[in-house]
Amino acid sequence: MLKIEQYFLCFMIYSMIGWLMEVIVTFVEDKKFVNRGFLIGPYCPIYGWGYLAITILLTKYKTHPIALFVLISVVCSVIEYVTSLVLEKLFHARWWDYSKRLLNVDGRICITNSVAFGALGIVALMYLNPIIEGFIFNINPQLTMIIAIIVFIIYLADNITSFKIVNSFKNKFASFTDNTEEIKEKTLKFFNSKPLTRRIKEAFPNLKPIVSKIKKIKK
């Protein structure tokens, strides 16, 4: 059985995989890059929580694929619904909206996502978990702890920073649907308006061409 620090690293890996999937899907649908998720970094914790839930609660059902599919779909849908509700209550904004999709519940979850969660969950539980957990399990325990602590500090700082930023402009969104792109734009403006950010730009002028290129790619 994995230790807490090993579970945490798996949590972060799945959060990053989830973020990558979200970015790819959004790019295919909207033909543009959108940094999905609540946090600034390249990870969506909801996928990490999904990993923990199905790994800890549902591994014992691996020999019953149909029951496993249904249970994963239900568990992940509950996590998605609760996450959407909590974020909306805290910040008066939404990071996704499925109101136009078939068989949705309050625009927070929908049947297509639930089915996708069930299928992806089985793939994760049956095939990805042994690879990812096996890799982390074989890392030196001391090194694992050091990596976990460093990643946790970064993750915690991101949570605190993102919470403060989004909380600073809640109730200021143009609509009440999927506010992800609007939130990221406001976050970028927030950073650009801060003296520390301007000081960094002045101290590292070579970053300016890079930022300019990123903006052109975004356009």
The closest of 121, 6, 119 to 54, measured between CA atoms, is 121
The closest of 93, 106, 55, 62 to 76, measured between CA atoms, is 55
Kindly give, in sequence order, each residue whose CB lies less than 8 Å from that of residue 25, ignoring residues fewer than 6 positions away: none
Maximum average pLDDT range among 32-46, 115-129, 166-180, 200-214: 115-129
Identify whether the C-beta of residue 144 lies closer than 8 Å to the C-beta of residue 136. yes
In this structure, what token pair is assigned to residue 148? 């976990």
Rg (CA), the chain: 19
User: CA-to-CA distance for 33 and 11, rounded, in angstroms?
Assistant: 24
Identify whether the C-beta of residue 39 lies closer than 8 Å to the C-beta of residue 10. no
Question: What is residue 37's DSSP assignment?
Answer: S
In this structure, what token pair is assigned to residue 167? 């909380």
pLDDT reported for residue 210: 42
pLDDT reported for residue 181: 64
Q: How many residues does the chain have?
A: 219
pLDDT reading at 18 higher than 60: yes
User: CA-to-CA distance for 117 and 76, rounded, in angstroms?
Assistant: 7
Other CB atoms within a 10 A radius of the CB of residue 18 amount to 22
User: CA-to-CA distance for 136 and 141, rounded, in angstroms?
Assistant: 9
| DSSP H or E stretch at residue 142 | helix 141-168
pLDDT category of residue 104 using cuts at 50, 70 and 90? very high
Mean residue pLDDT of the chain comes to 84
Question: What is residue 110's DSSP assignment?
Answer: E
pLDDT reported for residue 30: 82
61-75, 101-115, 158-172, 198-212: segment of lowest average pLDDT: 198-212
| DSSP H or E stretch at residue 41 | none
pTM of this prediction?
A: 0.79
pLDDT category of residue 80 using cuts at 50, 70 and 90? very high
